[in-house]
Amino acid sequence: MKTNDTQAVMTASQHIDDQIAGLGDWRGEIMGKLRTLILAAAPDITEEWKWDTAVWSYKGNVVAASAFKDHVKLNFFKGAFLKDHQGLFNAGLEAKSTRSIDFAEGDKIRDSAVQELVRAAVAYNLSAGR
């Protein structure tokens, strides 16, 4: 089987596993931790592989995680409509719908606050306001 054929049959979870493993540094650690938090916060959420990155959805896109050279971005697709009680959003604040949290090397992840945002994003997708 050719490499392209193998990639075509990979599940989204396998793609995400490969992405995290392929980073091999602090970015992979952050991506893995964020994935764990997202899945624990919303057990019925679906892992997807879109735009060459990890995406989690439930009744629509909820959140995506992407690794860049100097940060990991956790992007909430409808973040502008969520109450960020913990003040986590620190990027994309001018965007019409999305809001993001950028994590740099050494940043501490506030587990419960991230999970609160994930649950709020899922609830938003389930609401009539969607």
> What is 3-126's CATH topology?
Aspartate Aminotransferase, domain 1 (3.90.1150)
**Residue 9: which residues within 8 A CB-CB, separation 6 or more?**
none
CB 57 within 8 A of CB 69: no
**pLDDT per 10-residue tile (average), the chain, 130 residues:** 58 94 95 98 96 95 97 97 92 95 97 97 82
Q: What is the largest CA-CA distance in the chain?
A: 50
Cα atoms found within 13 Å of the Cα of residue 23, Cβ hemisphere only: 21
Tell me, what's the pLDDT at 1?
A: 41
What does pTM read for this prediction? 0.89
